[in-house]
């Protein structure tokens, strides 16, 4: 069954395709009749937008397929693959347009503009601005990166069309021919857009840091549970737009029973799913020393040592096993630190010097989320 989000994305993309194809037809006709490479390049840009929307529809349909044995987490990431294809099309269109514009610079031909040219260009600018705002706002409502990108691209296309219009008016009034230069400008912009889209698509395929606002809200929600002392190590795996599976560690009192921990874990999972649509498939546990004041004093001392060093973002999961003389905890060091391993070793040596009778299990954790 088609989801509401899928239906909105497809309908919006179809509208974008129709609008761009109309613009392609008129601009191509005017461009060839007036012998204007700038207008023809603008038409090529609109054609690449139409092709992009077609691929967006295909990607959305494929991404909406139900999970199966080989893809138990669904097919949502297909949207990122199709975005990469769209990016390649945009880049190719830009390179092709640039080649033709350079040819016009080397062998210039006199353009022939008229009133119809101006009308078509003005109408195209209005359509592009209106389409851009509509598609972008729709994309934000349904959390579709593809639609948001298409909307921004359409709005920017309107700005570029203004430059084409300006060069046309300049030629008609002052007989100064700038259209080949404008064609190069438009082509370079299309190429830049293609490169930016490729980077964004590759980032999504590789996996990027989860949105800061979302991770902070999830950690805050988990920490509000009356039995949770702290929430750490939140990892969100992206399986397509708005499809997250994740894991998290919580600090809890060392006096809780397994049955109580199970109840806490289930409560947290249900709350996060209901509030954010995120499935926390794993909730790890850090046990907090609560019955020994001496151990708590050692924790405070080690905490002071750790955070006396610039670049340390977080310390969590502290536990001291007095019977086996083991101190365990995790630290997170900023990726921007000059030498994370060297800083870690310095902290380790400093703590070991102060507590030589204890075996240290200090994990250099990864800064995966805010």
52 shares its domain with 195: yes
Contact indicator for 325, 359 with CB cutoff of 8 Å: yes
Beta bridge partners of 4: none
pLDDT at 2: 53
Q: Give the integer Cα–Cα distance in Å for 355 and 348.
A: 10
Answer whether 278's CB lies under 8 Å from 311's CB.
Answer: no
Domain limit, last residue, from 191, 206, 221: 206
Range of the domain at 352: 212-365
- Asked whether the predicted pLDDT for residue 228 surpasses 80, the reply is yes
Shared domain for 81 and 136, answered yes or no, is yes
Domain boundary residue among 179, 206, 233? 206
Q: Please, which residues have CB within 8 angstroms of residue 231's CB and are 6 or more apart in sequence?
A: 218, 219, 220, 222, 223, 248, 249, 250, 251
Report the candidate in 198, 214, 158 with the shortest Cα–Cα distance to residue 23: 158
Element (H, E) at 359: strand 359-365
Confidence of residue 39 (pLDDT cuts 50, 70, 90): confident
Q: How many residues does the chain have?
A: 370
List the structure tokens of 156.
Answer: 């920017």
Query: How large a percentage of the chain has pLDDT more than 90?
Result: 48
- Average pLDDT of the chain, as a whole number: 89
What's the mean pLDDT in 279-293?
Answer: 92
Which of 206, 236, 264 finishes a domain?
A: 206
> Do residue 296 and residue 168 come from a single domain?
no
Both 72 and 192 in a single domain?
yes
- Phi then psi for residue 244, to 5 deg, are -120, 135
Q: Beta partners for 232? A: 249
| 3-state DSSP assignment of residue 317 | strand
Residue 227 maps to which CATH number? Answer: 3.30.70.1350
74: left (phi over 0), alpha (psi -120 to 50) or beta: left
Tens-digit pLDDT profile for residues 71-95: 888 888 888 888 788 788 878 878 8
Which of residues 21 and 63 earns the better pLDDT score?
A: 21
HSE-up (13 A, CA, CB side) for residue 174 = 7
Task: Give yes or no: residues 202 and 216 share one domain.
Answer: no
Say if CB 277 and CB 236 are below 8 A apart: no
State whether 254 and 333 are in the same domain: yes
Residue 256 lies in a domain: yes
pLDDT of amino acid 1:
42
User: Residue 52 corresponds to which tokens in the numbers above?
Assistant: 């992009």
Helix, strand, or coil here: 3? coil
327-346 pLDDT, tens digit per residue, is 999 999 999 998 899 999 99
Give the rounded distance of the alpha carbon of 316 from its chain centre.
28
Among 246, 220, 221, 227, which Cα is nearest to 235's? 246
Cβ atoms of 147 and 9 within 8 Å: the answer is: yes
Q: Which residue has the higher pLDDT, 108 or 32?
A: 32
Same domain, 81 and 189: yes
Is residue 135 assigned to a domain? yes
User: Per the structure block, which two tokens stand in for 45?
Assistant: 């840009």
**Position 116 pLDDT exceeds 50:** yes
Q: Is 32 domain-assigned?
A: yes
In a shared domain, residues 241 and 331? yes
Rounded average pLDDT over 45-59: 84
* Pair 151, 137: CB distance under 8 Å: yes
Structure confidence at residue 137 (pLDDT): 92
Let me know whether 18 and 125 are in one domain.
yes
| CA nearest to 112, candidates 36, 25, 28 | 36
Q: Which of 102-106, 108-112, 260-264, 265-269 has the lowest mean pLDDT?
A: 108-112
């Amino acid at each position: 069954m088609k989801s509401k989000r899928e239906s909105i994305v497809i309908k919006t993309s179809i509208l974008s395709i129709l609008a761009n194809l109309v613009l392609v037809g008129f601009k191509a006709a005017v461009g060839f009749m007036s012998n204007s490479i700038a207008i023809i390049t603008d038409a090529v840009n609109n054609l690449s937008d139409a092709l992009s929307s077609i691929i967006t529809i295909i990607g959305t349909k494929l991404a909406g397929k139900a999970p199966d044995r080989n893809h138990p987490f669904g097919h949502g990431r297909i949207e990122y693959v199709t975005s990469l294809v769209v990016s390649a099309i945009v880049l190719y269109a830009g390179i092709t347009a640039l080649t033709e514009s350079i040819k016009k610079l080397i062998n210039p031909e006199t353009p022939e503009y008229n009133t119809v040219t101006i009308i078509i260009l003005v109408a195209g600018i209005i359509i592009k601005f209106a389409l851009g705002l509509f598609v972008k706002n729709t994309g934000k409502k349904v959390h579709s990166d593809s639609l948001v990108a298409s909307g921004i691209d359409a709005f920017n296309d309107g700005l570029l069309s203004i430059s084409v219009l300006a060069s046309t008016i300049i030629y008609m009034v002052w007989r100064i021919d700038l259209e080949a230069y404008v064609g190069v400008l438009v082509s370079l912009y299309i190429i830049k857009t293609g490169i930016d889209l490729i980077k964004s698509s590759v980032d999504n395929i590789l996996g990027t840091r989860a949105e800061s606002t979302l991770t902070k809200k999830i950690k805050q929600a988990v920490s509000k549970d009356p039995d949770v002392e702290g929430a750490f190590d939140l990892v969100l795996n992206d399986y397509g737009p708005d499809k997250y599976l994740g894991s998290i560690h919580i600090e809890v009192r060392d006096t809780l029973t397994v049955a109580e921990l199970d109840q806490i874990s289930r409560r947290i999972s249900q709350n996060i799913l209901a509030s954010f649509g995120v499935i926390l498939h794993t909730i790890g546990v850090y046990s907090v020393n609560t019955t020994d004041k001496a151990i708590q004093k050692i924790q405070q001392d080690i905490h002071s040592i750790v955070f006396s060093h610039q670049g340390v973002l977080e310390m969590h999961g502290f536990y001291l096993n007095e019977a086996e003389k083991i101190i365990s905890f995790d630290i997170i060091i900023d990726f921007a630190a000059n030498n994370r391993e060297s800083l870690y070793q310095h902290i380790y040596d400093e703590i070991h010097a102060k507590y030589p009778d204890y075996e240290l299990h200090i994990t250099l954790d990864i800064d995966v989320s805010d």
